[in-house]
Amino acid sequence: MNYNLFDSFQLGSNTLANRIVMAPMTRLRADGTIPTQLMAEYYAQRVNAGLIVTECTMISPLSQGYMNVPGVYNDEQVAGWKLVTDSVHNAGGKIFLQIWHSGRVSHSALLDGEKPIAPSAIAGKGQLHTPIGKVDLETPRALETSEIPEIVEQFRDCAVNAKQAGFDGIELHGAFGYLIDQFLQDGSNQRGDKYGGSIENRARFLLEVVEAVTQVWGGDCVGIKLSPSNTFYGMFDSDPKATFGYVIKELNSFNLAYIHLMEANEVDLSTRDVINPVLPVFRPLYEGNIITNGGHNKETGNKAIASGNAELVSYGKPYLANPDLVTRFKQDAELNEPNPKTFYGRGDTEDAKIGYTDYPFLEKSLLF
């Protein structure tokens, strides 16, 4: 039987109305680190997605990589996220919380003077906006072996907090050059202990985090995002097919809800020779569900599902600008164009709604 984007799907214990996923997108609209009522409105507008995955959410104060990014490590943050989950559920939607540690993608100006932490003292490439202006990434402090279990426990604790906040599941951010990815790839991990060296050792942190959070949720409510072709922040691996192939095969034993697998983007392709396409390389290694992400439109999304290479398709920019994306796809209607100036925060406007909750619907009556 050929499935398409509009077919329902049983994702572990969650029944999804369709196979269209709202991808996690960094929007930087929190009040400091606290989710807001405006964020609740933003996510509730987009409940026609079969599944919403939230923006990256901090597991500790030292995991902060950006200004106005939410956390889920204290009671006030959990209460803020409860506004979001209540709004989404009242509108009939399903929502997973993406939990995240930025690792070396940070700066002491964001961390009350503390140095960023990472598997090795190797600086990433790029710049960040901080309270003192735009700055280059700093050389991080290499974690002591004895410190790593504490970070695993922070992921576990925040998985518990996500339950308390009312989410339907969680997604681990293991992609795009953040801490889990930094441990995995040998361009950022040059440790000499049990967390470095061989692929098995470099994958240890990722697998320990997966084990910890699945003990809280069960595997069928946990996903993980991976980006085998990512070059963000200077990331690279000497043998990404072997590295990510090992991890993906190991993840079979956890019976996860899904792996969220990122294709190479234009920046990756222009930076160096990377795996392209990603999906056919790793699909044969994974027995569970895969969400594919990579600039898909309706046609390519349907092809990915019909081919059997993926069970679900996630959309980022199209969902950012089109809260009623499913309706527009069904009607082959024109899509709103996103405003890049307001992708990451308010841009040059004082009104937080602009470029966030003010994108027009095709038909208000078809919102849900």
State the alpha helices, DSSP H only, in the chain: 37-44, 75-90, 148-164, 179-184, 199-202, 204-217, 240-251, 266-271, 279-282, 298-306, 317-321, 325-331
Read off the tokens for 95: 């929502």
The C-alpha atoms of residue 133 and residue 242 are separated, in whole angstroms, by 39
CB contact burial 330-361 (16+ within 10 A = b; e otherwise)? beeeeebebbeebbbbbeeeeebebbbbebee
**Residue 304 CB partners (closer than 8 Å, separation 6+):** 279, 292, 296, 310, 313
Q: Residue 114, Cβ neighbours under 10 Å: how many?
A: 12
| Residue pair 125/104 in contact by the 8 Å Cβ criterion | no
The C-alpha atoms of residue 368 and residue 6 are separated, in whole angstroms, by 14
Read off the tokens for 18: 């369709």
| Residue pair 243/272 in contact by the 8 Å Cβ criterion | no
Which of 178, 195, 246, 315 is an active site residue? 178
**Alpha-carbon torsion angle 340, 344, 349, 351, nearest 10:** 120
Read off the tokens for 45: 């507008």
β-pairing, 9-11 vs 14-16, is antiparallel
What interhelical angle do 240-251 and 204-217 show, nearest 10?
20
| Residue pair 263/292 in contact by the 8 Å Cβ criterion | yes
| Residue pair 96/53 in contact by the 8 Å Cβ criterion | yes
Query: Would residue 178 show up in a list of annotated catalytic residues for this protein?
Result: yes
Q: Where in the sequence numbering do the catalytic residues fall?
A: 178
